[in-house]
Amino acid sequence: MWRQLRNRFGLPLTMAIVSLMGIWLIVMVLLPQWQMIDYSFHPSLLPAERGGAKDVWSLTNYATFFHNEIHLAIFFKTIWSSVLVTALTLIVSYPLAYYLAKVATPGQAALCLLLLIVPFWINEILRTFAWYIIFAFRGPLNELLFALGLIDRPIRFLNGDTGVLVGMVYAYILFMVFPLYNAIESLDTNQIRAARDLGAGWGRTHRRIVIPHAKPGIATGCIMTFMLAAGSYAVPALLGSPGSRWFTQIIYNWFFEGGDWNQGAAYAFLLLVLCIVFVTAIMRIFKVGLGDIAK
Amino acid sequence: MDGRVTLNQVAMRFGDFTAIQPTSLEIESGEFFSFLGPSGCGKTTLLNMISGFLTPSEGSVAIGGVDMTRVPVNRRPTAMIFQNLALFPLMSVYRNIEFGLEVRGIDRKQRRDKADELLDLVALSGSGDKPVAELSGGQKQRIAIARALAVEPRVLLLDEPLSALDLKLRQHMRTELKAIQRKTGITFIYITHDQGEALTMSDRVAVMCDGRIQQVADPMTLYRQPRTDFVAGFVGENNRFPGRVAAVDGGMVTLDAGLPAPLRGHADAASPLAPGDEATLYVRPEQWRVGSAGDSSLRFGGVVQAEHFEGAWLTLEIALDQGGTVRAHVPQALESAGIESQLAVGSPCRLDYSPRGALVLPGVERGRANEESVDVAATA
């Protein structure tokens, strides 16, 4: 890569590009990350005690987590709910992406994409608030269901996980639709036609031809959606109930309410490890490499 | 197994554009039938209506006497070979061939037997486990044929499948396709813009232009007895002489085309002519006899404008003394060797044709941009 860059831009410019990238990576990514890991292995101390006798490496912060049943439960619930969000988003996005890539005329596709993107010009918190209003006990959704005669008394959507799941699917749908769309779009339409021509129904055509081809796109979409869901704070904070707390909320509490940054760092590091494990697992399951995902 | 294909007044419209004019056609069971025409003539649209990818705007499509107009593509007894073959790149050769059988719920053992049998037919035994990407162009072609034949279609549809191959391989595959068609007895419907392919393989050819079938005939008739100006110009090369009928004598017509000698040619029995009618005489390049400037037995004089050596023959572009340019082939057999030394560019020559080798069709077609035929009087 170094040689390619040098041939294209010449030595001085290449040095500049590479050192800027290096500085960005080190200062913006590696150092803060290292700082957090370092924090997580130290006890929370008063400024005066730092560097003193009590300032030693310890696993106490991690032990706290593994001994707290509620936090453990919330951690696993976050994993499970994020998987659920990812699966739901995939189910919703796949037909949409297929329609955009292979069925819609260019005009229809452009309109549809516009309709998908326009809401994202609004801040995530405001969009989430919109759902808060829709889901409210005396909100429009309940009114509508009531008017249609589907329910005879309002439902408390914001009580359980429903609100959080719907809100997250909505918040992250673009991160699933775009990789899927790109992957399906690159499939030769004659492949679909050939499968149909050989007698395959729509189900089998998707299972055997479209989905295997779109695998890297599915993997990318799932990874992005899962990471965004697992790391989400606004959606569970606004649409969740005390019973549907997210692990990020616990981290937030350690930092800003408990004032224990070291404890919070340990929890944040656990979330990071979880995400890395998930990405690796998905890559194994879908048999895709990092290169396929970066495409 | 009845592989008859019947098109009954089928038409296809896309908005204001009519891709296929109402067309009726009967393709016999077991026939090798080609649709020949320039790109945009509607031949692929017709194929898509037979395969089921398109539903005709009007009319009906029947296969083996059963109406298929509303039957979806996956329920039709047809199989298609795509222009780009559309092999499934993520599957092995076996999996590709077995795909259609798997869909039909045939068990693994039978599937594999059938696939082996087909690999045998296309002379690729033993390559079943290879990934498709490892095959050469010609091998991919054969696998595509095997995959289509696996579902035992009554009609095999081929959409210019040879266009991506190099010349030698293409010629070889023509022979193979024809052989496979004979062996299997399946109706082959072949789409091409390459007249060489259509003429060498087909039992019958339909020449298409602007969404209309111009003529349906066996290859030899198509070449010798074209029915329309388009066919005369598109299939093979032709020199056009538009003029007026001077006399009709049995099957022969004398045409006044403003040349020093009257032009004679045989008329098409299906389109009778009377003196005074506008008509066009067609002379193929190989019908000309070209001789030296002193050969007074040849009626027309001209000057050689250009020559193209094509191996088996020499193509001369000759400017007639009366105006207009004619393309003539001079065979390169040994006995005629030596004549071309007198036919260098810029030298005068004499030329003539035998009236039996010329055809007269009614009407004068002007303004059709067709590079394959030379309109003599239009440039005069």
Nearest to B31 by CA among B172, B181, B150: B181
Question: A141 to chain B, minimum CA–CA distance in Å?
Answer: 40
Residue B183 lies in a domain: yes
Give backbone dihedrals phi and psi of B327, rounded to 5 degrees, phi first: -105, 130
Rounded Cα distance, B43 and B21, in Å: 12
B196 with B293, same domain: the answer is: no
β-bridge mates for residue B309, sequence order = B314
| The last residue of a domain, from among B224, B240, B268 | B224
| The last residue of a domain, from among B224, B255, B280 | B224
Of B53, B78, B148, nearest to A193 by CB-CB distance is B53
Give the range of the structural domain holding residue B203, as residue numbers without chain letter: 5-224
B116 with B213, same domain: the answer is: yes
Chains A and B form CB pairs within 8 A to the count of 55
What's the CATH code of the domain at B203? 3.40.50.300
Please list every residue in chain A whose beta carbon sits closer than 8 Å to the beta carbon of residue B73. Answer: 193, 196-197
Of B51, B83, B88, nearest to A197 by CB-CB distance is B51
B258 with B162, same domain: the answer is: no
> Hey, what are B115's tokens?
């696939």
B158 with B42, same domain: the answer is: yes
DSSP state of A185: H
B316 with B294, same domain: the answer is: yes
Domain count, chain B: 2
Rounded Cα distance, A127 and A117, in Å: 12
Query: Cα B108 from chain centroid?
Result: 41
pLDDT reading at B370 higher than 50: no
Residue B215 lies in a domain: yes
At B59, which helix (H) or strand (E)?
strand B58-63
Rounded Cα distance, A1 and A289, in Å: 19
Question: A206 to chain B, minimum CA–CA distance in Å?
Answer: 13
B179 touches chain A (CB under 8 A): no
Please list every residue in chain B whose beta carbon sits closer than 8 Å to the beta carbon of residue A203. Answer: none
Say what the pLDDT of residue B359 is.
Answer: 92
pLDDT tens for A90-137 read 999 999 999 999 999 999 999 999 998 998 888 888 888 888 888 888
The residue of chain A with its CA nearest to that of B144 is: A194
Residue B370 lies in a domain: no
Residue B374 lies in a domain: no
Please list every residue in chain B whose beta carbon sits closer than 8 Å to the beta carbon of residue A214. Answer: none
pLDDT band at B261 (very low <50, low <70, confident <90, very high): confident
Lowest-confidence segment of A45-54, B199-208, B286-295, B370-379 by average pLDDT: B370-379
Q: Is B338 helix (H, G, I), strand (E, B) or coil?
A: coil
Residue B380 lies in a domain: no
Q: Are A255 and A238 in contact (CB under 8 A)?
A: no
| The last residue of a domain, from among B198, B224, B250 | B224
Say what the pLDDT of residue B32 is.
Answer: 95
What's the CATH code of the domain at B341? 2.40.50.100
B304 with B194, same domain: the answer is: no
pTM (two decimals): 0.81
pLDDT band at A82 (very low <50, low <70, confident <90, very high): very high
β-bridge mates for residue B192, sequence order = B36
B147 touches chain A (CB under 8 A): yes
DSSP state of A253: I
pLDDT reading at A157 higher than 90: no
Of A198, A200, A204, nearest to B79 by CB-CB distance is A198
> Hey, what are B89's tokens?
């790149």
B217 with B292, same domain: the answer is: no
Portion 53-92 of B in contact with A at CB < 8 A: 53, 73-75, 78-80, 82-84, 86-88, 90
> Hey, what are B170's tokens?
């293409």
A213 touches chain B (CB under 8 A): yes
pLDDT reading at A4 higher than 90: no
B186 with B321, same domain: the answer is: no
Q: Are B92 and B131 in contact (CB under 8 A)?
A: yes
B242 with B219, same domain: the answer is: no
Say what the pLDDT of residue B335 is.
Answer: 59
Q: Which of B80, B98, B155, B158 to mutate to test the interface with A (most CBs of A within 10 A)?
A: B80
B160 with B96, same domain: the answer is: yes
pLDDT tens for B199-230 read 999 999 999 999 999 999 999 999 999 999 99
Rounded Cα distance, B241 and B360, in Å: 9
Specify the amino acid at residue B175: T
Q: Is B301 helix (H, G, I), strand (E, B) or coil?
A: strand
Contacts of B328 (CB under 8 A, 6+ apart): B285, B288, B290, B315, B316, B318, B351
Q: Are A18 and A26 in contact (CB under 8 A)?
A: no
Contacts of B214 (CB under 8 A, 6+ apart): B206, B207, B208, B227, B228, B230, B231
**Edge-to-edge strand ranges of the sheet holding B58-63:** B17-27, B5-14, B58-63, B66-67
Please list every residue in chain B whose beta carbon sits closer than 8 Å to the beta carbon of residue A292. Answer: none
DSSP secondary structure, B90-154, as one string: TSBHHHHHHHHHHHTT--HHHHHHHHHHHHHHTT-TT-TTSBGGGS-HHHHHHHHHHHHHHT--S
Q: Are B142 and B123 in contact (CB under 8 A)?
A: yes
| Mean pLDDT, rounded, for A75-102 | 94
Q: Which of B71, B74, B163 to mutate to test the interface with A (most CBs of A within 10 A)?
A: B74
Asked if A213 lies within 8 A of B78 by C-beta distance, the reply is no
Query: Cα B41 from chain centroid?
Result: 13
B155 with B191, same domain: the answer is: yes
Residue B74 lies in a domain: yes
Rounded Cα distance, B239 and B236, in Å: 10
What is the sign, positive or negative, of the torsion defined by CA atoms of A259, A261, A264, A266? negative
Rounded Cα distance, B110 and B195, in Å: 40
Question: A210 to chain B, minimum CA–CA distance in Å?
Answer: 11
| Mean pLDDT, rounded, for A177-198 | 94
Residue B112 lies in a domain: yes
Asked if B103 lies within 8 A of A200 by C-beta distance, the reply is yes
DSSP secondary structure, A74-122, as one string: HHHHHHHHHHHHHHHHHHHHHHHHHIIIIIS-HHHHHHHHHHHHGGGGS
At B79, which helix (H) or strand (E)?
strand B78-81
Say what the pLDDT of residue B340 is.
Answer: 62
Rounded Cα distance, A96 and A180, in Å: 9
pLDDT reading at B103 higher than 80: yes
Residue B378 lies in a domain: no
Rounded Cα distance, A259 and A250, in Å: 12
B16 with B117, same domain: the answer is: yes
